[in-house]
Amino acid sequence: MSDLVALLVVVPLLGSLVALTAGIVRDESGWAVALVTLAVQAAMAATVAWSVLSGEAISYAVGGFEPPFGIELYVDGLSAAMVVLVPAVALGVLAYARRAGPRSNRFYATYLLLVTGLTGMSVTGDAFNLYVFLEITGLTAYALVASGDRGRSAVAALKYLLVGTFGASLYLLGIGYAYVATGTLNMTDLASELAAVGYASPLVGAAFAFVVVGLFVKVAMFPLHTWQPGAYEGAPDAVSALIASLVSTVSAYALVRVVLTVFTPEYLAAVPLARTLLAATAAVSIVVGSLLAVSQTDIKRMLAYSSVSQFGLIVAALSVTNGTALVGLAVHLVGHAVMKGGLFLAAGLVSTGTGARSVTEYDGLAGRMPVAAGTFGVLVLAMVGVPPAVGFLGKWYIVLGTLEAGAWALATVILLSTLLTLAYFARLLERMYFRDAAEAAPDATAVADGGEGDADGVSTGMYAAAVAAALLAVALAAAVPAYQAALGPTVEVLLP
Amino acid sequence: MIAALADRAYFVAAFLLLGVGAYMLIGDRNLVKKVIGMNVFQSGIFLFLVASAFVTGASAPLLTEPAPYVSPLPHVLILTAIVVGVSLTAVALGLIVRIYEEYGTLRADLVEEVGDGE
Amino acid sequence: MTEITSLRPLAAVLVSAAVIVPILLSGNRPNLRESWTGLAALAKFAVVASMVPAVLAGDTYVTDLGEFLPGVRFALEADALGVLFGLLASLLWIITSSYSIGYMRGLDEHNQTRYFAAFAGSLSAAMGVAFASNLLVLFVFYELLTVATYPLVAHDETDEARAAGRKYLAYTFGGGVAVLAGTALVYWLTGTVAFTPGGIEALTGADPLFARLAFALLAAGFGVKAALMPLHSWLPDAMVAPTPVSALLHAVAVVKSGVFGIARVVLDVFGPDAVADLGMGLPLAAVAAFTLIVASVIALRQDNLKRRLAFSTVSQLSYIVLGLAVLAPTSLVGGLLHIPAHAFMKITLFFAAGAIHVETHTDDISDMAGIGRRMPLTMTAFAVAAAGMAGIPLVAGFVSKYFLLIGSVSAGQTLFAVALLVSGVMNIGYFWPVVYTAFFETPEDSDEKPLIEGPLGGRFAWGRAAVAEADAAGGDAPSDAVADGGHAADGHTDAHGHGDGHAGGWERRSWTGGESTWFMLGPILAVALGSIVLGIVPDGAVFLRVVRLVVAGVTGVTV
């Protein structure tokens, strides 16, 4: 069973190589390779997750070197969710990319490499190994963003690269401090060694600050989010969906893993400043992210700022460190990934079908593309937190967790964030359903500009992916009680 | 104070590199210089980690040498990190080449101004 | 008191949701589409009605759909209070469906398919509100109701309608957030949110500060839809919606879901005793009393008939809240009985206003002089319902107001009893002019309406303005100026007159239904009749019995 964990990382890596070499033999064979690889990975991920959620956490020593000396792979209830989420979303986006995508084999090789990086980040139990996977994820994400054919894609990718590398480097620096203080890199081992060094030590403080700020860059917390809107906007639609859905999510998971496993809740209890750093950043991100989202005219940029705000919720849940909030965090991580991925896919559908990319161009969309508008509408409502969709459940647990912790200010901000989310999404609903399209004019120009606005360009696969996301956003809610129960042992380990 | 700094000369150098690199990365308008700044920044981190492994009076970690040894692990890690850094630089330069082809300039502010380049 | 496991509550909720798809699919064939609506309405009523006998015998029907959150079941439970609301909404939906058909076709409205689909969705959500077995499930349907009714508010797609829609969403989701916060607090304090007649026991032992906070949040959150001042202003704006929406949703289902939420909170979450112990009854009652007086005053000055009705709704809803907040058993009966009583009367009034709109395109009361000749049956129904609103005996409003008054006085809250009486007088003040102008005036011969046409501030300000005008005119006597003003007002009335047969007075139509289509007349007469039945034989109609059962279950006192 535990070998499967290693295979989870190896399979997409091999798939990536196969896709690259297959390209020499035959063009456009990458999609099929990616499909098979991801299907195999998804099946294995499901097996691993099932065994973890119904039994115990799995630990695997890479190359037979026992931790804390060797690299450990570790899957518990929290990472199990990520392990399943990554191939599942990747498969969904793949269905979308068949017609829409870049189609070259190089694209699919990079795509699978990104999946490798993300899976690696999810399963690793080693702090430095996490850095390596973080960089693999980063590198491939930069390359994928640049695969758009516009000049702006390259600029956005470069900006993403510079800021992203800066964040990863800070993380490495933080790990360096931790290593200097303790002489170990295994996460569980670090936890006990850091405690032995003493939480008051400036080395430990610096390590925490650098690691957390470095990961804030990757998660895109305000004010370190600057790479995100450009990258999402500049990337091809399939890539924005994949990155928006997974990269920040898995980075946020890494943040949770580092804070809870490496530094442990005791550290947050001993150093109130650390907790304040998390809570304050979260609150500011929630509010400012929403306000920036309201002021956007481009749909993808608006969705990007919405992510800034939503990840504020995640970090807020992390900052209070209790079981209820942790459940909410996990639920919202998965739920947000599905919803945001679906929203980007739906936005892609719309821009392929009608050429509409800005808020005003969504006027009367319900008449032009009823299914896309309906999908968008459902996802938007789920995101706002209308019950019984999964967005509501995540929020409910997080609010309850903050109440249990007595963090009143945070609870208020989170509750009000519902209204802030509504502020930028309601206008879209209104435009889609209660305004007529201004004229055919915007369509015509878009078609003339870049050959967009081609209704035939929208394939069944593209629709299926977006609609599946919308259905999942509602249906996942039913799985939450079971997941919460299965998460029990993990919570006990993480929050003793 | 000076003695303390001299003892930790490597660390001082590392943090100078970090500062210089970060300043170039953020402040410079030339895209290539930004990438160089990124490299300098990373070099600072590498130096910091490698220096941290040093133990006064210890020998290289070879079985033929007497104990104590300096820690070999950071060197291995930094080798990995350097590889990562090189590939990052390669991707960055590749992107810059493409940007230069599109916009005909390396100035970040001009590129922003031009916008989509269409 | 046994719990009968049954799918009936679920069926009652889902039956209208299930027809949304057929409605959307048969958009091109209006007759088929409307028959789906009619079918669902009848089926829904049949399901709800089938539960009434057992509920009256003290049993409840439960559908348990599994665990929603730890300690919270996603269950639907048809208890007496739920059946009260469910029966009312499903009965009136049948009538409104018929009326909708006449109204929407009479005006040849656009996008009727979306309208009927959203209407069916709203009813599903309303039924879910009625049969929710705990606060969280109630919240789920409360939010879904907001979503489902939004397309109906913004239906016109004009700037005004969109603005109203935005306001509606902002207000109701804001209320939703408060409800969510209150629910989370209750869950945190007690570990449960299930409705328990007489209140959740653990709440009495909880920290009173947090318990008060939770009550305030819940009352404010539900107060948005119940249009408690100062959270009422979405309701008059939402009158831009088609009249059947105003009638069923903004007089019955949506606003009553807010009131119903408050009832659940007072009766089944906290319980009247705990509310009294926490000292939260009095503030809530004060807000309600304030609302019912102020809204009546505002209603006096509205010239647009639907807006006047909207403010009347704001005022009447506060009767119910007041009855709940006074906490005496008799006033609880009065408050709860006012839910169906007000529903029947207000829906009559809205139906009448809508019929006038469809037939004559007249919306303002000042244009309605003599309209009783043109639409005799409609205006008679209007007069009956208006009389009921004012609390004239033999119509529904009298019975509930009687209980409310007795309850307030017996609870020692004489001040609130006075507020109820004052508001009753003002009810006459704003409804009588409509009836009077319809039957006893003609466009040529109408009295002046100082309340509407005069400047704000009354006689004194009026006098000063007149004096100033007189000075400017060079020393004419003030009385002449006033007379001139009166004529000018007449001219104004005429200038606004439009619609068929209006210029030369309304043509006379017979009392046998020549005034409109029976699709609309039928419903109007049916609900007017309902108001009278409720007024004459309240014990014969099932609602009072259900209400007595609810109050007996909660307080143990049989009224």
According to the model, what pLDDT value does residue A285 have? 92
Q: Is residue A454 part of a domain?
A: yes
Query: Which of A167-176, C12-21, C414-423: highest mean pLDDT?
Result: A167-176
Selected for mutation to probe chain A from C21, C109, C157, C224 (highest A CB count within 10 Å) is: C157
Cβ-contact B46, B83 below 8 angstroms: no
Structure tokens at C12: 């009652």
Interface partners of chain B (CB pairs < 8 Å, 3 or more) are A
HSE (CB half, 13 Å, CA atoms) of C14?
Answer: 8
Burial class for A355, CB neighbours closer than 10 Å (0-12, 13-18, 19+): buried
Q: Is residue A411 part of a domain?
A: yes
Determine the Cα–Cα distance for residues A304 and A301; give it in Å rounded to an integer.
5
Q: Is residue C447's pLDDT more than 80?
A: no
Q: Is residue C407 part of a domain?
A: no
What one-character DSSP code corresponds to residue C79? -
Gap from A326 CA to chain C (nearest CA, Å): 15
Of residues C70, C176, C187, nearest to A484 (C-beta) = C70
What one-character DSSP code corresponds to residue C198? T
Q: Is residue C36's pLDDT more than 80?
A: yes
According to the model, what pLDDT value does residue C69 have? 77
State whether residue A456 is helix, strand or coil: helix
Of residues B34, B38, B88, nearest to A139 (C-beta) = B88
Q: Is residue A228's pLDDT more than 70?
A: yes
> C516 to each of C102, C113, C385, C511, C524, how far by Cα in Å?
9, 23, 19, 11, 11
> Does the distance separating the beta carbons of C170 and A399 come in below 8 Å?
no
Q: Give the A-side interface with C, CB within 8 Å.
A: 381, 384, 386-388, 392-393, 396, 399-400, 403-404, 411, 415-416, 418-419, 422, 426-427, 429-430, 433-436, 478, 480-481, 484
Structural domain including C467 reads 450-496
- A99 vs C46, residue with greater confidence: C46
Determine the Cα–Cα distance for residues B38 and A353; give it in Å rounded to an integer.
41
Please state the rounded mean pLDDT for residues C370-388.
82
Determine the Cα–Cα distance for residues C97 and B52; give it in Å rounded to an integer.
80
Radius of gyration of chain C from its Cα atoms, rounded to whole angstroms: 24
pLDDT digits (tens, 9 = 90+) for C101-132: 878 877 777 778 888 888 888 888 888 888 88
| Amino acid, single-letter form, for residue C505 | G
Q: Cα–Cα–Cα angle for C1, C2, C4, nearest 5°?
A: 140
Alpha helices in C78-200 (DSSP H): 80-107, 112-131, 135-153, 159-190
Determine the Cα–Cα distance for residues B84 and B103; give it in Å rounded to an integer.
28
> Does the distance separating the beta carbons of A165 and B38 come in below 8 Å?
yes
Please state the rounded mean pLDDT for residues C506-525.
73
According to the model, what pLDDT value does residue C269 have? 87
Determine the Cα–Cα distance for residues A120 and A7; give it in Å rounded to an integer.
10
Count Cβ atoms below 10 Å from residue C159 Cβ, excluding itself. Answer: 9
Residues of B in contact with A143 (CB under 8 A): 91
Asked which of A279-293, C194-208, C300-314 is least confident by mean pLDDT, the reply is: C194-208
| Amino acid, single-letter form, for residue A21 | T
According to the model, what pLDDT value does residue C500 have? 43
Asked which of A341-355, C266-280, C442-456 is least confident by mean pLDDT, the reply is: C442-456
Peptide bond into C329 cis (omega under 30): no
Q: Cα–Cα–Cα angle for A134, A138, A140, nearest 5°?
A: 120
- A69 vs C352, residue with greater confidence: C352
Please state the rounded mean pLDDT for residues C426-455.
74
- Provide the domain count of chain C: 1
Chains C and B touch (3+ CB pairs under 8 A): no
Longest dimension (CA), chain B: 66
According to the model, what pLDDT value does residue A440 have? 46
Residues of chain C with pLDDT > 70, as a percent, come to 87
Interface partners of chain A (CB pairs < 8 Å, 3 or more) are B, C
Helix (H) or strand (E) holding C34: helix C30-56
Determine the Cα–Cα distance for residues A41 and C192; give it in Å rounded to an integer.
41
Strand partners, C61: C4, C78
Residues of chain A with pLDDT > 90, as a percent, come to 24
pLDDT digits (tens, 9 = 90+) for B46-62: 888 888 777 777 777 77
| Amino acid, single-letter form, for residue C34 | E
Q: Which residues contact C474 (CB under 8 A, 6 or more apart)?
A: none
Cβ-contact A31, A103 below 8 angstroms: yes
Please state the rounded mean pLDDT for residues C66-74.
79
Q: Which residue has the tokens 């930069």?
A: A142
The two beta strands, A58-61 and C72-78, are unpaired
> Does the distance separating the beta carbons of A142 and B42 come in below 8 Å?
no
Of residues C147, C166, C174, nearest to A430 (C-beta) = C166
Structure tokens at C492: 């104004």
Cβ-contact C87, C542 below 8 angstroms: yes
According to the model, what pLDDT value does residue C26 have? 79
Write the ipTM: 0.88
pLDDT-based confidence at C499, cuts 50/70/90?
very low
Q: Is residue A182's pLDDT more than 60?
A: yes
Cβ-contact A197, A204 below 8 angstroms: yes
Please state the rounded mean pLDDT for residues A383-390.
85
Domains of chain B, residue spans: 2-114
Q: Is residue C512's pLDDT more than 70?
A: no
Gap from A386 CA to chain C (nearest CA, Å): 6
Asked which of C64-78, C114-128, C273-287 is least confident by mean pLDDT, the reply is: C64-78
According to the model, what pLDDT value does residue C39 have? 85
pLDDT-based confidence at A451, cuts 50/70/90?
very low
Structure tokens at B80: 């990995």
Q: What is the mean pLDDT of chain C?
A: 79
Strand partners, C72: C69
- Provide the domain count of chain A: 1
Alpha helices in C226-375 (DSSP H): 234-237, 243-248, 254-264, 272-278, 281-300, 305-326, 329-360, 371-374
Determine the Cα–Cα distance for residues A174 and A204; give it in Å rounded to an integer.
9
B2-114: which CATH topology? Helix Hairpins (1.10.287)
Interface partners of chain C (CB pairs < 8 Å, 3 or more) are A
- C465 vs B63, residue with greater confidence: B63
Determine the Cα–Cα distance for residues C515 and C438; give it in Å rounded to an integer.
14
Q: Is residue C462 part of a domain?
A: yes
Structural domain including A320 reads 281-496
Helix/strand number for chain B, H first, E second: 5, 0
Q: Is residue A1 part of a domain?
A: no
Residue of B nearest to A145 (CA): B95
Structure tokens at C176: 């939703």
Give the residue among B17, B91, B88, B23 at the shortest CA–CA distance from B49.
B17
Evaluate the CA torsion angle A294, A300, A304, A309 in order and state its sign. positive
What one-character DSSP code corresponds to residue C250? I
Gap from A298 CA to chain C (nearest CA, Å): 21
pLDDT digits (tens, 9 = 90+) for A105-140: 888 889 999 999 999 999 998 888 899 999 999 999
Of residues A403, A426, A481, nearest to C184 (C-beta) = A403
Q: Is residue A109 part of a domain?
A: no
Determine the Cα–Cα distance for residues C164 and C497; give it in Å rounded to an integer.
26
State whether residue A353 is helix, strand or coil: helix
The two beta strands, C72-78 and C60-69, are antiparallel
Asked which of C20-24, C179-183, C480-484 is least confident by mean pLDDT, the reply is: C480-484
Selected for mutation to probe chain A from C14, C64, C68 (highest A CB count within 10 Å) is: C68
According to the model, what pLDDT value does residue B114 have? 66
According to the model, what pLDDT value does residue A114 have? 93
Q: Is residue C489 part of a domain?
A: yes
